[in-house]
Amino acid sequence: MSTWFDESRLDDERALASVDLRLRTLAESGARVRREAHESAEILADLVAQDMPRPRAVVAAGPDSRLLRAVLEPWCPVPFVAWPNPGLPGWTGSLDLVVMLAPEGGDHGSALAVAEAVRRGAQVVVACPPRSLVAEHAVGRHTTILPTVTGDQLATAVVVLDYLSRVHLGPSADSEVVAAALDEVAEASSPHRDLAVNPAKMLAISLADSNPVVWGGSVLAARAARRVAESIRRTSGRSAIAGDAEHLLPILEAAKPRDVFADPFADDPPDRRPHLVILDDRAEETLVAEQRDLLVAAAQSHGVRVETISSHADAEVARYASLVLSGTYVAEYLRLGLVE
């Protein structure tokens, strides 16, 4: 049996109650950032006060290293490597800084990578629960453990990025700015706000009969696009995709003309058309603007609808977090409205 979208469920108290835990978890995103920042504040201040010499290179190790790469690569004044693979690069040594996000603290690969960094004499900064497998392997004279308590990847990343910003190895990542941006999204997308004034509910309705094509122009917006597309796939089963402009253009250009006489409630409904969703983090690079104009022009010329999720937060990391949370709310409302 095919699924259809019942938009009335987005304002129905009983339907919303069925997803209360998931929506509450999203609403508490800002609170988790603040809690992690509070838990690590004293240790972080002591670490910055040590005034360590600038490392030869920074290695972000572990499975969550790609987020750090997206933030740091354009800014880091020394060579930077993201290493999600087991172990460490062969050249890593005592002149280097190894950082790791391990919000759960139980990953064996991360534990072994930290142990290897300690053995090689590198400076190590790892964010993980203080009583965890990773923490046990991180014991060393040049190691600092930033304690985590929420298991939240983004909140953990903000703590590490805040440290790197304070030692002039990355851009500003003030935890309160990030938390405030997340709170703003949570308020705008709250289940208690009517769909007429709720951007997440409105976008979910717009995407209900389509396959989302998600694009972000900057490095961070592109990563946010992948996260949003992943959330939509997981909640709706739709083939939402994200990618570079050159990979998405053929999809838009191959869109078939819309059949205005098609019956959306038929047993064999027409194929869902693509729907371009642009994540706008105020990137001002000329190339980003050109790629955006190219995608929008292609969408308009082939009758493909275009929607934009924007963030006006004051820092790059905050804008990334805001875009991801906005898209995740859309995905949850899409899940809620789809029925058989």
Task: Write down the pLDDT at residue 263.
Answer: 57
In the predicted model, what is the mean pLDDT of the chain?
92
In a domain, 16, yes or no: yes
Q: What type of residue is 146?
A: L
Sequence-distant contacts of 188-196: CB under 8 A, at least 24 apart: 189/26, 189/325, 189/326, 189/329, 190/27, 191/16, 191/20, 191/23, 194/11, 195/7, 195/10, 195/11
In a domain, 39, yes or no: no
Of 107, 132, 166, the position where a domain reaches its end is: 166
Domain identity same for 24 and 65: no
In a domain, 34, yes or no: no
- Cα 280 to Cα 148, 225, 324: the distances in Å are 30, 10, 11
In a domain, 155, yes or no: yes
Q: How far apart are alpha carbons 273 and 101 in whole angstroms? A: 38
In a domain, 45, yes or no: no
Task: Write down the pLDDT at residue 1.
Answer: 39
Domain identity same for 131 and 268: no
Domain identity same for 127 and 184: no
Residue in 327, 317, 314 with CA at minimum distance from that of residue 279: 327
Domain identity same for 11 and 117: no
pLDDT in tens, 1-15: 357 899 999 999 999
* Strand-strand pairing, 273-280 and 210-216: parallel
Domain identity same for 88 and 128: yes
> What predicted TM-score, i.e. pTM, was given to this entire model?
0.92
* Strand-strand pairing, 80-83 and 58-61: parallel
Domain identity same for 210 and 325: yes
Q: Where are the beta strands (DSSP E) in the chain?
A: 4-5, 58-61, 80-83, 97-101, 123-128, 143-147, 210-216, 241-242, 273-280, 306-310, 338-339
Of 141, 166, 191, the position where a domain reaches its end is: 166
pLDDT in tens, 46-89: 999 988 899 999 999 988 888 899 899 888 999 999 998 888 99
CATH number, domain of 316, equals 3.40.50.10490
pLDDT-based confidence at residue 28 (cuts at 50, 70, 90):
very high
Domain identity same for 160 and 254: no
Secondary structure (3-state) at 230: helix
Domain identity same for 266 and 154: no
In a domain, 154, yes or no: yes
- Residue 158 lies in domain: 53-166
In a domain, 47, yes or no: no
Question: Is a pLDDT exceeding 70 seen at residue 265?
Answer: no
Domain identity same for 188 and 318: yes
Task: Write down the pLDDT at residue 159.
Answer: 94
Domain identity same for 209 and 309: yes
Domain identity same for 193 and 300: yes
In a domain, 42, yes or no: no
Question: Is a pLDDT exceeding 90 seen at residue 289?
Answer: yes
pLDDT in tens, 145-163: 999 999 999 999 999 999 9
Which token pair is 22?
């998931």
Neighbours of 199 (CB within 10 A): 18
Of 100, 135, 166, the position where a domain reaches its end is: 166
Q: How far apart are alpha carbons 77 and 59 in whole angstroms? A: 13
pLDDT in tens, 189-207: 999 999 999 999 999 999 9
Domain identity same for 183 and 327: yes
Number of domains in the chain: 2
The residue behind tokens 């983004």 is 154
Average pLDDT over residues 275-300: 95
